[in-house]
Amino acid sequence: MKTDFYNEEKAAEIRASREQSPENQARKRAAFVYAALQTFSKGIHNSGNILERLVAAKILEGQPLSLTAFWGVGGKRSLNTEDEKLLSEYEKMRESIQTIYPQGANIQLLLADKHGFFNKFTGPQVYEYLVRIQDQANKRGINTIWLSDLYRQWNLVIPDSRNLIDEPPSYGWLWHNPKYFRQHAQLVQSAGKHHQSEEDPEQVAYHYAVMRLQEAPFLAKTFPDTILLINSSKDLAKLLLPQDLPHLYLRVSPVWFEEAK
């Protein structure tokens, strides 16, 4: 009986020790961060619980979390209330994390000038707007990185939307696979709406997909421990963005296409 009592007491001590271990405490706090992020999202891509594992690792290191979002171009040259709403949403997200984890989070916006040029927006249309976004974001403590700087670092060029579908590099597996017809239709619709040319929307959509797919592996290597904040549809993000990073699908739509309401 004494042996049984001793064994039970030792087991309880081991359980208590494990409960108080830094790893277990980090996992618990990561679960609270996950719950906080859910309040800003309409869904999360979290294959293999990568978000919680990524957050727990940062907590164990005592480092701020990393959140990364693209900010695109849609023809506006100045900010409006919709832009302010999204910037405020990022601030609230950061504050929410900091109430749980004092080291907080660093948010970086990838200013997608290259995407704007792909869509045939002019230099003034691209830079007048994005420079204003950069200024307002930096004032709020949100970091900004120009996608064109990353393209130079990655040795990438934007595809020529005038080229025929399946000209190298070939992504015919994407364009002709019935599995992706829903994304195909979304891309064509978006190309017809946002590309500033008379080019064939299907051709434009194909090369837009090529552009995003060529970025994806470099994005994952450059920001290996980040959470991607996404304004587009889940379907497109799951096809075009790195799947080994967690995705937080925001409730706020791409404001760069929206005029003031």
| HEC per residue, the chain | CHHHHHHHHHHHHHHHHHHCCHHHHHHHHHHHHHHHHHCCEEEEECHHHHHHHHHHHHHHHCCCEEEEEEECCCCCCCCCHHHHHHHHHHHHHHHHHHHHCCCCEEEEEEECHHHHHHCCCCHHHHHHHHHHHHHHHHHCCCEEEEHHHHHHHHCCCCCCCCCCCCCCCCCHHHHCCHHHHHHHHHHHHHHHHHCCCCCCHHHHHHHHHHHHHHHHHHHHHHCCCEEEEECCCHHHHHHHCCCCCCEEEECCCCHHHCCCC
Structure tokens at 71: 């900010």
Q: What is the rounded average pLDDT of the residues 40-66?
A: 95
- pLDDT band for position 167 (cuts 50, 70, 90): confident
Quote the percentage of the chain above a pLDDT of 70: 91
Dist CA 50 CA 225 (whole Å): 10
Q: What is the rounded average pLDDT of the residues 40-46?
A: 94
- pLDDT band for position 172 (cuts 50, 70, 90): confident
Calculate the average pLDDT of the chain: 90
Instruction: Give, rounded to a whole angstrom, the gap between the first and last alpha carbons of the chain.
Output: 75
CA atoms 112, 191, 207, 218: torsion sign: positive
Strand 143-146 vs strand 105-111: parallel, antiparallel, or unpaired? parallel
For 165, counting Cβ atoms within 10 Å of its Cβ (0-12 exposed, 13-18 middle, 19+ buried), the class is middle
For 22, counting Cβ atoms within 10 Å of its Cβ (0-12 exposed, 13-18 middle, 19+ buried), the class is exposed
Contact 216, 241 (CB under 8 A): yes
Task: List the one residue out of 179, 197, 258, 230 whose CA is nearest residue 40.
Answer: 230
* Residue 48 CB contacts under 8 Å (≥ 6 apart), including other chains: none
- pLDDT band for position 261 (cuts 50, 70, 90): very low
Dist CA 104 CA 96 (whole Å): 9
Task: List the one residue out of 100, 200, 116, 122 whose CA is nearest residue 151.
Answer: 116
pLDDT (tens digit per residue) in 209-220: 999 999 999 999
User: Of 46-60, 206-220, 224-238, 247-261, which range is least confident?
Assistant: 247-261
Task: List the one residue out of 134, 146, 136 whose CA is nearest residue 85.
Answer: 136
Whether pLDDT at 101 is above 90: yes
Task: List the one residue out of 170, 246, 178, 248 whose CA is nearest residue 209.
Answer: 170
pLDDT of residue 158: 96
Class of domain 2-257: alpha beta
pLDDT of residue 16: 46
Structure tokens at 69: 């979002």
- pLDDT band for position 107 (cuts 50, 70, 90): very high
